[in-house]
């Protein structure tokens, strides 16, 4: 193995460690997370803080850090620190508890690690392929877990309630699964080789979305896939995709009492009109979000820094504030509640610069680089839709994928800009 290969392998291993840490090692053992005692995500956080200064100091490619997204992330982390003092001023929470409350937002720092380590098309491509393999393995393990072989240690490991007549399966790392789904689909759509392999991976990971029954993931991924097919004018594949869904729905309809493909959306309409199920909970959250935004419209009130209640523990303040500081769903309105108008402007700029960079990179690049640019832009589009009910902005397992995608976009844009300048 050459020195370059060793360096690439070490870079990928470190990135994988951050992904695994942010996902609680995908619940593959009780030792990774004991509520109120130990959390492997905190270890990943600490390693990130220790490694980043060393990486920046000794990396010769530091110029890539000078970009609008880097500036926005630095601003965001400073803004998050401000929330600690707002929580102290508005709710009387200690500054130490505020630091604990915002600690997982430090995973945004992984952007600078990713953008420095992912310094070539080869390493980006290799990382994405490895993540796709991990996603497939996670789904296979989830199927075994669902069949009664206990593999995961999580409060919903045995299932999360009933939907469409069956218990909702637990699949850890769903953000990674969807990320990999869009990657293997992009490969299948653009590449001429290994098409059978990528197609089977795509169908398997798409089936995992229906198996998990998260409606916003299914809808957002389907919209992105459809748009990609239309943009490429692959009408035959578009018809095939629709037929695939219809045939799958027909098979499920015959073999099961309820159709897990169509039933979740029928149930969603019923829940919304009757204000029942998960929609009633989200509507209540929405009312809280709007109310708190009206109370603190500019900077937020420090709710994002409120320390979470741990199992059977927590201060009186934490229990009293648990409903107000809830942040696991409703990405856009929770963000509005937590950070006010400043947060809204920040988010608009965050998406704007990435879209512009991804589009420019896609136009300038060719071959594998262009495929990567199309993928990253498509996944960004997926995130922008999924944020209606999935909070990619606050939860570590989502944030790490959000930031990885951003780093790929900025790195590809930087490479494309460097190539265009070198041609002059």
Sequential pLDDT tens for the chain (424 residues): 566 677 889 999 999 999 999 999 999 988 888 777 788 999 999 999 999 999 999 988 899 999 999 999 999 999 999 999 999 999 999 999 999 999 999 999 999 999 999 999 999 999 999 999 999 999 999 999 999 899 998 887 887 765 555 678 899 999 999 999 999 999 999 988 878 899 999 989 998 988 887 888 989 999 999 999 998 877 787 887 777 766 655 554 544 455 544 554 454 455 545 554 556 777 888 999 999 999 999 999 999 999 987 666 778 888 888 888 888 788 899 999 999 999 999 999 999 999 999 999 999 999 999 999 999 999 999 999 999 999 999 999 999 999 999 999 999 999 887 655 445 4
Burial of 345 (0-12, 13-18, 19+ CB in 10 A): exposed
Bridge partner residues of 34 (DSSP): 38
State the total domains in the chain. Answer: 1
Provide the token pair at 142: 């989830």
Query: What integer pLDDT is reported at residue 140 of this predicted model?
Result: 96
Q: Please say whether the beta carbons of 48 and 110 come within 8 A.
A: yes
Query: What integer pLDDT is reported at residue 249 of this predicted model?
Result: 58
Give the span between the Cα atoms of 97 and 37, in whole angstroms.
15
Three-point CA angle 399, 318, 392, nearest 5° = 15
Query: What integer pLDDT is reported at residue 248 of this predicted model?
Result: 59
Q: Please say whether the beta carbons of 148 and 2 come within 8 A.
A: no
Comparing CA positions, the residue from 207, 200, 152, 156 lying closest to residue 177 is 207
If residue 211 lies in a helix (H) or strand (E), which one and from where to where? Answer: helix 195-212
Comparing CA positions, the residue from 70, 65, 72 lying closest to residue 349 is 72
CB burial string 205-239: b at 16+ within 10 A, e below: bbebbbbbbbbbbbbbbbebbeebbeeeeeeebbe
Comparing CA positions, the residue from 257, 259, 261, 269 lying closest to residue 245 is 261
Q: Please say whether the beta carbons of 138 and 176 come within 8 A.
A: yes
Q: What are phi and psi of 400, to 5 degrees?
A: -65, -35
Give the span between the Cα atoms of 300 and 83, in whole angstroms.
8
Write the CB contacts of 410 (distance below 8 Å, at least 6 apart in sequence): 64, 67, 69, 70, 115, 354, 357
Give the span between the Cα atoms of 294 and 290, in whole angstroms.
6
How many other CB atoms are there within 10 angstroms of residue 50's CB atom?
9
CB burial string 74-88: b at 16+ within 10 A, e below: eebeebbebbbebbb
Give the range of the structural domain holding residue 260, as residue numbers without chain letter. Answer: 3-423
End-to-end CA distance of the chain: 36
Q: What are phi and psi of 38, to 5 degrees?
A: -150, 140
Q: Please say whether the beta carbons of 244 and 200 come within 8 A.
A: no
Helix spans in 160-295 (H)? 174-190, 195-212, 215-231, 235-255, 263-274, 277-295
């Amino acid at each position: 193995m050459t020195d370059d290969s060793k360096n690439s392998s070490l870079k990928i291993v470190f990135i994988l460690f951050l992904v695994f840490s942010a996902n609680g090692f995908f619940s593959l053992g009780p030792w990774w997370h004991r509520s109120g005692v130990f959390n492997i995500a905190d270890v990943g956080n600490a390693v990130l803080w220790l490694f980043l200064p060393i990486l920046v100091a000794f990396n010769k490619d530091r110029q890539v850090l000078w970009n609008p997204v880097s500036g926005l992330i630095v601003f965001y982390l400073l803004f998050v620190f401000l929330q600690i003092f707002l929580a102290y001023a508005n709710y009387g929470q200690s500054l130490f508890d505020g630091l604990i409350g915002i600690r997982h937002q430090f995973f945004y720092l992984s952007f600078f690690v990713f953008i420095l380590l992912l310094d070539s098309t080869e390493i980006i491509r290799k990382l994405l392929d490895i993540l796709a393999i991990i996603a497939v393995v996670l789904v296979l393990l989830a199927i075994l877990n669902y069949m009664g072989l206990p593999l995961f240690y999580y409060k919903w490991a045995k299932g999360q309630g009933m939907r469409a007549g069956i218990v909702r399966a637990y699949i850890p790392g769903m953000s990674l699964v969807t990320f990999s789904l869009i990657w293997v689909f992009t490969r299948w759509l653009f590449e001429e080789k290994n098409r059978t392999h990528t197609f089977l991976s795509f169908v398997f990971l798409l089936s995992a979305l229906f198996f998990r029954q998260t409606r916003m993931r299914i809808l957002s991924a389907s919209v992105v896939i459809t748009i990609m097919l239309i943009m490429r004018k692959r009408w035959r594949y578009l018809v095939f995709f629709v037929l695939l869904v219809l045939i799958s729905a027909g098979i499920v309809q015959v073999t099961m009492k309820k159709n897990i493909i169509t039933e979740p959306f029928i149930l969603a309409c019923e829940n919304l009109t009757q204000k029942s199920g998960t929609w009633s909970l989200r509507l209540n959250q929405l009312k809280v979000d709007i109310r708190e935004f009206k109370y603190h419209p500019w900077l937020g009130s420090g709710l994002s820094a409120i320390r979470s209640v741990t199992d059977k523990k927590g201060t009186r303040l934490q229990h009293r504030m648990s409903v107000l500081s809830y942040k696991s769903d409703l990405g856009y309105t929770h963000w509005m509640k937590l950070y006010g108008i400043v947060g809204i402007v920040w988010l608009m700029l965050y998406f704007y610069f990435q879209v512009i960079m991804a589009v420019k990179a896609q136009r300038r690049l060719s071959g594998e680089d262009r495929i990567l640019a199309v993928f990253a832009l498509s996944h960004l589009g997926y995130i922008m839709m999924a944020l209606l009910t999935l909070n990619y902005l606050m939860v570590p397992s989502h944030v790490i994928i959000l930031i990885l995608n951003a780093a790929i976009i900025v790195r590809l844009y930087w490479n494309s800009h460097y190539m265009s300048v070198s041609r002059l």
